[in-house]
Amino acid sequence: MKFIKRLLTWWNGQTLGTQLYTRLRGQPVGQDGNGNKFYQNADGSRRWVIYDGEMEASRVSPEWHGWLHHTFRLPPTEDPFPKRSWQKPHVENLTGTEDAYAPVGSLRSGEATAKADYVAWKPE
């Protein structure tokens, strides 16, 4: 079943064409904390990622994103960013999931109540 999904769909992991190209011409560069694997061709002109699980672009950390888009010449495995004390760990975009951020007062947070200091505008 997994083979048929990969053969017919692109969102269930790498396609057979990508897998074949990766095996023939891909040079492994590194792997991030999410298990995503990064590759490039021999001259470094093409760079790509093979996702571990669901294909979601927000699962790629900023360091690897910069390398994929040729913003940085060296990958994070060779030239890592210095970590700052104020930085939080990278988290994928959780919009549309149960873990999505819900600010106080939103319907999703369960705290949507009318405040006493609010007076609705009424036209004269």
Query: Distance (Å, rounded) from C-alpha 21 to C-alpha 23?
Result: 5
Token duo for residue 46? 């093409």
Kindly state whether residue 124 falls inside one of the protein's structural domains. Answer: no
pLDDT at 114 (0 to 100)? 62
Q: Is the dihedral of CA 82, 85, 91, 95 positive or negative?
A: negative
d(CA 57, CA 109): 27
Number of separate domains in the chain: 1
Residue 64's domain spans which residues? 2-68
Q: Has residue 10 got a pLDDT over 70?
A: no
Sign of the CA dihedral with 100 first, then 101, 107, and 112 last:
positive
Average pLDDT, the chain: 85
Confirm whether 101 is domain-assigned: no
Per-residue pLDDT at 108: 76
Has residue 39 been placed in a domain? yes
Q: Is residue 83 part of a domain?
A: no
pLDDT in the model for residue 111: 65
Confidence of residue 112 (pLDDT cuts 50, 70, 90): low
